[in-house]
Chain A
Amino acid sequence: MRYISFILGQLARNSRHGWTSQVMTLFTVTLSVLIFSFFFLIYVNMQKASTRLGNELRLVIYLEHEVADAFRHEFKKKITDFDKVDKILFISREEAFARLHKQLGRDSDVLEDLDPSFLPYSVEVYPSSDLKSLSRIKEFSDYLETLPGAVKVQYGQEWIERFGYFISLLRIIVLLSGALLILTSVFMVSYTIRLTLEARQEELEILRFLGATDRYIRGPVVVEGFLLGLLGAGGGLLALFFLFQWIKNHFSGPGLMNLFELSFLPMTNIGTILLVSLLLCTCGSLISIRKYLKV
């Protein structure tokens, strides 16, 4: 208890002397955590959206003519020969027309003069949920096109490909911002601690003469790095939370944002970011201690 109160007293003393560099470091760590966790949050939400889209993915085979009931079993078998599927639906022209009518809603009157048989026969294939990779879906689509009577296969390939590339890009940004977080946390904290130690050289020398132990001298310095990490990561995550709420309130509603069902980072991710920041900042202070504090 006495040791803790001593450490707190020592920290307060250090803060009085070097508060400007400490505030700058805190700000930098906060900003780094905010940048990293912001991109990570987007990445997590995109991954979720990607999973959901994957679950809802369907490949539509447009046919020249309807598959007769007698051949449907064989047609299904040919599809499942390539890969597992969750569901296969045969859509008649009438069903397709009814769907379109429903989708158009109040504008459905545009269909009034049209022949309900103008839409082609089709087969909807819902691939198994473990069929996730873009290349595998493409292969599947190419295979389906070779089926007898198939005219065209659609699954929103362009959109899915772009989405996939965007997620890959996000992954790179997350990695880069993670590297930024590591660099700023370790180096900034290390630099601040170095400044603190340099400013306290005279005091440290006197402390050594008075018999101060390593624990007495190093303890507050390590705790300073630890606190910078804790407050920096806490501040960054808090800022992210407010930013998230603001985005949610201002951009929610019909449209793209609704598609993604934005959610904040799960507790495990928050805990990991906090822990990693703590470790990085503590490492930063330990590096400076090793380099500049000869007890």
Chain B
Amino acid sequence: MALDEVSLSVGPGEMIFLTGVSGAGKTTLLKLLCFLEKPTMGLIEMNKKDISRLSGYELQKMRQHIGVAYQDFKLLTRQTVYQNIALAMEVRYENPKNIKQRVMELMSNLGLADKVHTPTGKLSRGEQQRVSIARACANKPPLILADEPTGNLDAAATALVMDLFHRLNEEGSTIIIATHDQSVYQESSHRLVNLENGKLQEIIKVNFDL
């Protein structure tokens, strides 16, 4: 069993760090939250709606409001960086002008401005990871799930990514980041949730005022 007796409530506009060693269940929890996996039992509610009761169409619409940065990136390797990021906005039939503006902005924010027309298959893993993150953030969705978003990044790129997450969080997005990179949450004042062997071990508030 990947997760057992996990009870977690996340408020709107919160940022949470989900920590734990490899195999602790972080990815499973994120997959459950974005409906990629179904729980064998239990209840997952989003906006007070039981997601297991959503129709196919409602589920698709709900997914449009969740940005997910996958650990394995899930990029279209033959398509360019621009096309990959734009895809998240295209499925919502966004205005092409807005798409272009937003994609260019994200690429600039994440240090990918010179890779617009490069197929993602030709990028380094670090660059691919940033494209995946840019796609997750493209719509400024109300919920962003990031699975090990800095796993392949150097310190400078990590700072760019975290800066983007913080900005979106300030704008109202709820963000859940699964990571075992301490540098990402060490300085943060946000909630830290630890998973161990599929069980929610502790919820610690870091950086409290003395």
Contacts and interface: CB of A to CB of B under 8 A. Distances in A.
Instruction: Specify whether A and B are partners.
Output: yes
Interface of A: 2-3, 5-6, 202-203, 205-214, 216, 295
A216 B94 CA distance: 13
B143 to A, nearest CB: 12
A213 B67 CA distance: 16
Contact of B60 (A2, A202, A203, A213): A213
A203 B66 CA distance: 18
Interface in B78-96: 87-88, 90-93, 95-96
Contact of A213 (B91, B96, B135): B91
Interface string B3-39: 0000000000000000000000000000000101000
A11 to B, nearest CB: 14
Contact of A210 (B57, B91, B95): B91
Interface of B: 34, 36, 56-57, 60-66, 68, 70, 74-76, 87-88, 90-93, 95-96, 135
Contacts of A205: 74
B91 A211 contact: yes
B93 A211 contact: no
Contacts of B135: 210
A295 to B, nearest CB: 7
Given A2-B93, A5-B96, A211 B87 contact: no
Contacts of B95: 2
Given A211-B60, A211-B61, A213-B61, A206 B76 contact: yes
B57 A213 contact: yes
Nearest to A212: B91
A210 B76 contact: no
Contact of A212 (B60, B76, B96): B60
